[in-house]
């Protein structure tokens, strides 16, 4: 006999189909490296942003907006920086939904920062 599907799991799986869109500022702060030592560095940074966003969605699949962060190494030296981001589940009426990631300071004040 099949096990009933968990609605939270179904909702989370649906989010994996949504495109992830980063604002220009989020891209420049969290992903872009002017002179990467290897191409994979930017790929790893992008993957960590998307993975962190999906992780937060898994924890709160009904949330429409929330705050999360990633820690990245500075382009020069060994220093690491904390980059606060916000994620919004955008559901335009005439288009497919998508996930919008932006820097926290770009976000409108109604985003729950708890």
- Point out the least confidently predicted range of 6-10, 25-29, 47-51, 98-102: 6-10
Residue % of the chain over a pLDDT of 90: 46
For 66, the 3-state DSSP assignment is: strand
Beta bridge partners of 101: 22, 87
The pLDDT tens digits of the residues spanning 33-43 come to 887 777 798 89
9 pLDDT above the threshold of 70: no
pTM: 0.78
* Domain boundaries of the chain, sorted by first residue: 18-106
How do residues 54-69 score in pLDDT, each as one tens digit?
Answer: 898 888 888 899 899 9
- Asked if the model's pLDDT at residue 3 lies above 90, the reply is no
């Amino acid at each position: 006999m099949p096990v009933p599907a968990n609605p939270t799991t179904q909702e989370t799986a649906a989010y994996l189909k949504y495109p992830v869109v980063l604002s220009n500022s989020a891209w420049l702060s969290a992903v872009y490296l002017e002179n990467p030592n290897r191409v994979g560095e930017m790929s790893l940074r992008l993957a960590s942003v998307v993975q962190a966003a999906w992780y937060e969605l898994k924890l709160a699949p009904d949330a429409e907006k929330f705050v999360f962060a990633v820690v990245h190494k500075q382009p020069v030296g060994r220093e690491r920086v904390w980059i606060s981001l916000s994620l919004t589940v955008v559901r335009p009426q005439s288009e497919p939904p998508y996930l919008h990631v932006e820097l926290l300071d770009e976000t409108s004040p109604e985003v729950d920062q708890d």
